[in-house]
Amino acid sequence: MDAFEIKDRRFATYILANAPVEELATGFRWLEGPVWFGDANCLLFQDLPRNRTMRWSEETGVSVYRYPTDYANGQTRDRHSIWFTDPVYGISTDYEGGRQVSEQPPGLYRYAPDSGEITLVAGDFDGPNGLAFSPDERRLYVSETGDQSKENPRQYIRMFELSGDGTRLSGGDIFHKIEPGYCDGLRVDEDGNLWSSAGDGVHCIDPRGP
């Protein structure tokens, strides 16, 4: 692959000239939710339409890590407080799950491992998708990928502030809009930069704004 094009020098330090993009494996239908396990030296990711979690390592290549997965979409390392989104994408067609009538509207949820309680923390989404915390866990970024059945769905990244005990949210204003394309999944690095999917590749977003 050709060398990376650095369009904003603020992000130059995150690009290694001797680290080109490599194709690790092919033959999948549609991939989602990659997460790196440094302690196990492997990458887990979802082969979603085939209902399985895959594993890649430098030593052994690609193998099936878990099957079935109930069409799991994303994943992350556990840091004791579990937050997840619940859109209707998996039940809209038979391709990435099974077509069903939704029992509840889309929402953002928090699961408390100590009590087992699941709480709806934000219900004003059309299609909540990927989420990620800032390094200090005072901010929560959530991608709104919208109602895909509409001609012009709402599509942007929202930013929430967490309460002192980390259980409640406030805010939720639009933080950034990806162009071209839209944000589906995202991650935050140790410096607080957001890394998001986009129509032309991967975008790196300064948490302080443009």
Domains of the chain: 1-77 (no CATH), 78-210 (2.120.10.30)
Tell me if residue 12 falls in helix, strand or coil: helix
Give per-residue pLDDT as tens, 40-66.
999 999 999 999 999 999 999 999 999
Q: Per-residue pLDDT for 4 more than 70?
A: no
Tell me if residue 165 falls in helix, strand or coil: coil
Shortest CA distance to 157 belongs to which of 140, 174, 172? Answer: 174
Give per-residue pLDDT as tens, 117-149.
999 999 999 999 999 999 999 999 999 999 887
Answer yes or no: are the C-beta atoms of 196 and 178 closer than 8 Å.
yes
Beta bridge partners of 73: none
